[in-house]
Structure 1
Amino acid sequence: MGRTTIQPFFDPKTWTISYVIADAATRQAAVIDPVLDYDFKSGHTDTRSADAVLTHVQAQGMTVQWILETHAHADHLSGARYIQERAGGKIAIGERIREVQATFKKLYNLERSFLPDGSQFDHLFKDGEVFKIGEVEATAILVPGHTPADLAYLVDGAVFVGDTLFMPDVGTARADFPGGDAHALYWSIRRLLDLPADTRVFVCHDYPPKGREVRWETTVAEQRAANIHVRDGTTEDEFVAMRKARDATLEVPMLILPSMQVNVRAGQLPPKDANGVAYLRIPLNMLPKGEQ
């Protein structure tokens, strides 16, 4: 531990935390879960969040080796392609992204040329695959449940858990998206909580209770002792019952329909029509109806 530097970037509009983790010796870096800003009302994209990441990378003399997605996010558009176009690096995600792509190709009725084979990404990680950021060893850990394709990344005594776990006083991810499974989520979480107690845990989102500032770092020990949904002693049946009851009360994320058709493409916007304009598709009457 201590061979890497970790810099968080918080986006207040989507409550997302992106990270730059770098090998301190070689200055090789990985960007985790970058955000492409999107204004729902106007349909405009913006790059200020991704530009903040790039400014940090440049100021620190880093080289982007990897752009790591923990999963295809439903609450923000991915800035992976934008980062890659300006700083290089391989865009990577878990190999089960193919299942997610197949589901959402049907939902959006995407163009024939879109193949749900993961080829939009530069690398698809297998469970347990070891790779390097500079000279620092990292491991991809499959943690399905929130979606089939979720990964956590274990690097130098720290684990980046995506949406699988939140801060202890917020709990855990929902499991009611297509392909989600509360039973699988429970065992994915237990797999993470079996890591050494002092492992640093970095979350992708924080939705702080009133009176608490935004936070993104905790430890395995804190999660096991205090996570309101899955602390030690919580059984699988208890967790699944809680998760199903809670998920039934949650609204559909505001950006799920815009974001998923971009994120299954590794952050690439849809191909432009003959008039030179790219369009997002909104399938009508397909997702569960939210509160009016």
Structure 2
Amino acid sequence: MSESVLARIARQAVGLMDLTSLNEDDSEQSIVALCQQAVTPVGTVAAICVYPHFIGIVSDTLRRLQVSEQIAIATVVNFPHGNHSITKVEQDIAAAVQAGAHEIDLVLPYRQLMAGDDAFALAMVRAAKVACAGVEDKGAILKVIIESGELATPALINQACELAIAGGADFIKTSTGKVAVNATLASAEIMLKAIRASGKDVGFKAAGGVRTTVDARQYLQLAATIMGPDWIRPSHFRFGASSLLNQLLDTLGANHDASLSRGY
């Protein structure tokens, strides 16, 4: 494979990244540094994904960096175990949207789904979609994390995708990055085919375990095969990662901060 092919893939992948930090030891300083790293020599990432209490810091920092119009702010709810009530999810989304979040990554109550309670999963996604609408001029897109590694079987992964899409998800996302098995090409194929079969305008996000330019290339090739190459743009395709950015910039020979190494 020629370096020019990998470089082209790396440049594309930078613009598809949700640069993510969801660590217990995150601090104001580390989140400010994350925002600074999101502005790379080859362009900005698509979004920054952080815990809800860091939304304001991200918003202020992106404004200071003069990239607030280019980089979306994403946050997580019902995270990471998917065991909150619908009321709690609604409240958390409302607060996040009010604080300035543009994108909400909701963990599907996958354990209930595995126990056979698909009605609860669908109800939560529907409620989350309504909450994401926000008030007045504030609203957010909804990305539903199905936790494909825990669902494990193709049938359950497909069912979770169908429920999320039926509930109004704007994206379906593989994983929280907090379990033993996160994004895999096998689960991504099931999810992309579920999107295609739905006929709806739904995006896909691979999160957890996508660490190299070669990894990114495999997911992009898969998406192009199933959905077509023109489908792959930030409105439809994302990588949820942190350490991936350094690898992409290494591929491009771009200067970067080597401190960006904690995985997600």
TM-score normalized by the length of structure 1: 0.29
Structure number with greater Rg is: 1
- Identify the structure with the greater helix proportion: 2
Structure of greater relative contact order (alpha carbons < 8 Å, 6+ residues apart): 2
TM-score normalized by the length of structure 2: 0.31
